[in-house]
Amino acid sequence: MIECLEEKDAVTFKVRVVPRASRSGFAGEQDGALRVRIAAAPVEGAANEELVSVVARALRVPRSAVEITGGHHGRTKRIRVTGMTCQAIMALAGQS
């Protein structure tokens, strides 16, 4: 199950990024984190930018509502999304 924390106006959760995938998308859960495949390579922040875009598009929120709060240089990252619930995050992983 994805570790998700609901705050007053946002939700925080972990993601496990798989860079250089054939296409970007969600791939379930891994070790308490939402597993996300990213087509971009982890060069000069391209994978992080793609991650923000993929999450924002899937949750139908503006890119400015999605923020990487930890793990900028690693595969496991912490994401904060304003105006969202944990239930929506679980639905991305197919756990709803």
Instruction: Please report the pLDDT score of residue 95 as a whole number.
Output: 54
Q: How would you write the pLDDT of the chain (96 residues) with one tens digit per residue? A: 889 999 989 999 999 999 999 999 999 999 999 999 999 998 999 999 999 999 999 999 999 999 999 999 999 999 999 999 999 888 888 754
Segments making up each domain of the chain, as ranges: 4-92
| pTM reported for the whole predicted model | 0.91
pLDDT score recorded for residue 8: 87
The class of domain 4-92 in CATH terms is: alpha beta
Rounded Cα–Cα distance for residues 18 and 88 (Å)? 21
Of 15, 65, 57, the residue nearest 36 (C-alpha): 15
- Rounded distance between C-alpha atoms, residue 10 and residue 25, angstroms: 22
